[in-house]
Amino acid sequence: MSTTRIDARFAECAALGRPALVTFVTAGDPDLATGQAILDGLPAAGADLIELGMPFSDPMADGPAIQMAGHRALAAGQTLNNTLEMVKAFRAKDDKTPIILMGYYNPIYIFGPEAFVSAAKSAGVDGLIIVDLPAEEDDELCLPALAAGLNFIRLTTPTTDDKRLPTVLKNSSGFVYYVSMNGITGGAIKSRAAVGDAVKRIKSHTDLPVAVGFGIKTAEDAAEIGRDADGVVVGTALINAIAETLENDKATAGTVEAVHALVRSLADGVKRARS
């Protein structure tokens, strides 16, 4: 696979001596227009890479905040096609910032894996994180995605031991997403030293950048985790920033800015991670 936007962005951040800020938002939350405005403004606020969640009615790894975001988006009419259209609209204005679609396999299976890979590539998607598709099923989606030039990013967790890691990493590309805790999104990191040790262990198995997610909520968290990680992933805190501005689950005048203000703060955090 040739150099992708994801490869290039991690290299740029490494050259600047800091981790990348990876932001997660749910597509179409709380509605399509507001979700598009949030997405479009993330790079200017300081996001280096964007994970765009594909709303799904039966998530497994998402905590209550992201589950509610998915429900709001689905209730507002969000579909997988709409999510791809959001990426197209974003890409018409921004040809540099990587976008990774994150979600579950069921909607892709219904869409058709080959058709989905083609549509995602055409829309301007750079990579996929599919939470519930194990490495043993790479023929389903991973290998077709790689063949099309999309990165396929794997999750690793505290329970992914040295025996399991080579299997997980075999067809991984772009970066490795280390889930900092067992459980669901929205929890608190119990030991930042343990996270740092885990990042070093994973990096002993791969040359890919390692980004850490789950439990990072503030600029201080981002600065601390970013001392060891190549990227820090923030999702629940951004979803909460949306939720706190809503009235009857509808966007208000402060919704978009609340997210972008938090991203600006987090961007300041990653900039001082290694200073």
The model's pLDDT over 13-32, given as tens digits with 9 standing for 90+, comes to 999 999 999 999 999 999 99
What pLDDT does 164 receive?
Answer: 95
Predicted confidence band of residue 187 (pLDDT cuts 50, 70, 90): low
Known active-site residue 220: no
CA distances from 19 to 10, 62, 265, 267 (A): 8, 24, 14, 10
Which residue's entry shows tokens 């579950």? 104
The answer to whether residues 79 and 103 touch, using CB atoms and an 8 Å cutoff, is no
Q: What is the mean pLDDT of residues 178-190?
A: 72
Among candidate residues 31, 48, 62, 224, the one labeled active-site is 62
Q: Is the pLDDT of residue 107 over 90?
A: yes
Taking the C-alpha atoms of residue 135 and residue 120, their distance in angstroms, rounded to an integer, is: 21
- State the catalytic residue, choosing from 31, 51, 224, 228: 51
Q: Tens of pLDDT along 152-182?
A: 999 999 999 999 999 999 999 999 999 987 6
Res 184: pLDDT: 62
Closest C-alpha to 153, from 117, 120, 178, 181? 178
How many CB atoms are closer than 10 A to CB 227?
Answer: 12
Is 62 labeled as catalytic in the residue annotation? yes
Kindly state the average pLDDT of the residues 5-14: 98
pLDDT-based confidence at 102, cuts 50/70/90?
Answer: very high
Average pLDDT, the chain: 94
| Residues 197-232 pLDDT 10s | 999 999 999 999 999 998 899 999 999 999 999 999
Q: DSSP secondary-structure letter at 95?
A: S
Question: Residue 183 has what pLDDT?
Answer: 64
Q: Which two tokens stand for residue 76?
A: 């507002």
Residue 152 β-bridge partners? 128
For the entire predicted model, the pTM comes to 0.95
Alpha-carbon torsion, ordered 204, 165, 170, 26, to 10 deg = -100
Res. 62 pLDDT band, cuts 50 70 90 = confident
Mean pLDDT value across residues 235-258:
97
Distance of alpha carbon 247 from alpha carbon 93, whole angstroms:
30
